Chain A
Amino acid sequence: MPPDTQIKETEDIICVPGLRICAADNKHVAGKGTYERQGYIYSTLAGILHLVQQKEEGFVVEVHSSNEQSVVPVPGNIVTAKVMTINLRMAICQIRCIGDTVLSQPYRGILRREDIRATEKDKVEVYNSVRPGDIILARVLPVNEVQSYQLSTAENELGVVIAHTSAGVPMVPISWDQMQCPKTYVKENRKVAKIVPEDIAVD
């Protein structure tokens, strides 16, 4: 074994589930991948131990695994979703990312008509806000349905970020509620997210 590999291996402390890491006191708090039981901090994942410095004296004890895909949407998260089907009352989406984490399995989300816009809720038409195939940014609402997550785009920064025309050309946002095809100049209505894409201009 090369010496630097050996040094690296000794530096990383390998934790396995059930391993007692340290006592839970004022300086050490159980963080991600750990839990506290009877005054001690135990590991729940197989991974590498990390001590994250906090404030002045405290440490957050964390265990990082090699595959970090076990994330579940929590109310308040910003998620990236793809619109699958729409009807008069709602749009059914597939949640593909939570923040910066790409999900290995998509979750089902519902964007209701009343949650698309913050104002003029009675005048919202789903067809003029999102369409199947669009990629949207949305926020997860507190759940009241069993099988789905409730989404909301009632903020300026949320809405459609990627949309294509029927010919498959990605469209350019031209206002908060319209997108335009850069080739045929056809305008379509969308609830546009307030994000400025890079290197995009209408010819």
Chain B
Amino acid sequence: MELLSEQGLRLDGRRPEELRKIRCKLGVFEQPDGSAYLEQGNTKVLAAVYGPHQVRGGRVKANADSAIVNCQYSMATFSTGERKRRPRGDRKSQEMTSHLKQALTAAIKTEIYPRSQIDIFLEVLQADGGNYCCCINAATLALIDAGIPINEYVVGCTASLANASVPMLDISHLEETTGGPSLTIVAMPLSKKIVVAEMLERFHVDQLEKILNLALKGCQQIHAVLDAAVRNHMTEIGSASAWGQTFGT
């Protein structure tokens, strides 16, 4: 089974440089301070943000000059074809949690909230490749919904190499598991900074620049989609709460 056909189409009908369809919604829960739901193809992620609130727990010690960012990554037992026994706490989830914390700490302005804590919970409802990137994108939307100041959007995207020569963007689960190398990039598209970079399998270093540029281009496209969703959400919220009358006068 080839990843790319002779006509240049992928298994799901996309061209190599195309993203899957992204759908997202902010404010899906009332109880958290911020929440978001994101679909990227068949991958579905829920994010919830609590905080900033008081640091609790005996072991955790508050920072005197910045907030503590606490992340939890979880995959539902029904999220994969084969049922998962441990939704969280296994080694892969802990690694994902650590990466998420690193990426989100780089974006959040933690110095505004000394000796406090920001909790971010992420739940993968359906996994079809690119789970980590979907979690990053959903967490960014949830943070914006919570009103926590962030430097800019943190956007994640994956890229791969098909037939050892053609870069592909936003790979699905089938393309991930059939042995192709994959590169995961979490970037801030406006300032062009890379926050997290992860690579699986091997490819020649000559191909790295091509794949990296394609991943960054994908990040910019995802940023445009998220930006449009946030503006739509804010227009609705502003109309509902009579923004102009409250703050304009």
Interface residues of A (CB under 8 A from B): 5, 8-9, 11-12, 14, 16-18, 20, 33, 35, 42, 44-48, 50, 64-70, 72, 104-108, 143, 146-147
Contacts and interface: CB of A to CB of B under 8 A. Distances in A.
B152 A18 contact: yes
Interface string B107-141: 00100111110000000000000000000000000
B235 A9 contact: yes
B239 to A, nearest CB: 8
Contacts of B62: 146-147
Contacts of B28: none
A44 B53 contact: no
A70 B148 contact: yes
A26 to B, nearest CB: 25
A51 to B, nearest CB: 12
A72 to B, nearest CB: 5
A44 B237 contact: no
Given A12-B238, A35-B151, A107-B54, 15 more contacts: A8-B244, A9-B235, A12-B248, A14-B234, A16-B153, A18-B151, A42-B151, A45-B144, A45-B149, A46-B230, A65-B147, A105-B53, A105-B54, A146-B115, A147-B55
Contacts of A44: 109, 149-151
A33 B234 contact: no
A33 B230 contact: no
Interface in B189-212: 190-191
B115 to A, nearest CB: 7
Q: Indicate the size class of the contact surface on chain B.
A: 35 or more
A143 B64 contact: yes
Contacts of A42: 151-152
Contact of A105 (B51, B112, B147, B150): B51
B188 interface: yes
Nearest to A34: B149
A18 B230 CA distance: 13
Nearest to A106: B54
B149 A72 contact: no
A70 B116 CA distance: 11
Nearest to B54: A107
Contacts of B243: 12, 48, 66
B163 interface: no
User: Which of A9, A48, A66, A146 has the largest count of B CB atoms less than 10 A from its CB?
Assistant: A66
A143 B146 CA distance: 27
**Most chain B beta-carbon contacts within 10 A, residue among A5, A46, A65, A66:** A46
